[in-house]
Amino acid sequence: MARKPVYVEITEWLRAEAGRRGAKALMPTIAEVCEKFDVSGVQTVRNAYDPLLEEGVVVRLDSPRRWAVADNGKPAAPARDVGPLLDEIDQALARVSELVAEVRAAQAA
């Protein structure tokens, strides 16, 4: 299966960010996106923002290279309950600790 173009991955991430941030919130800068996705092309990031501009998800600000979440009268997405996820991570880390102890014991024997 072919990998998605990086600008498509960035667009998907930016769309999720817009939902989390809520109306009028600043979106990540080109530099921030380049760092997060390890890309150097300014045009790649602009291409990622283009569909969001067309869909009305974000608006371009007067400041160069800045975008904000469009105010469509929708509230920000509710915060996700991460408690169960943290519990699952905690259990996985405990199991990893057990495995490390077992390997160390086997090496010492």
Same domain, yes or no: 10 and 60: yes
Question: Which residues face 69 on adjacent strands?
Answer: 58
**According to the model, what pLDDT value does residue 26 have?**
92
In 3D, which of 80, 36, 45 has the Cα closest to residue 65? 45
Same domain, yes or no: 11 and 60: yes
- Which residues neighbour 53 within 8 Å (Cβ) at sequence distance 6 or greater? 59, 60, 67
Same domain, yes or no: 19 and 61: yes
The one-letter amino acid at 59? V
**In terms of pTM, does the model score above 0.75?**
no
**According to the model, what pLDDT value does residue 59 have?**
92
Which tokens sit at 109?
């024997």
List, for residues 31-86, the tens digit of each pLDDT value: 999 999 999 888 999 999 999 999 999 999 887 678 898 887 765 556 677 788 88
Distance in angstroms (rounded) separating the CA atoms of residues 74 and 54: 18
Residue numbers of the domain that contains 99: 81-109
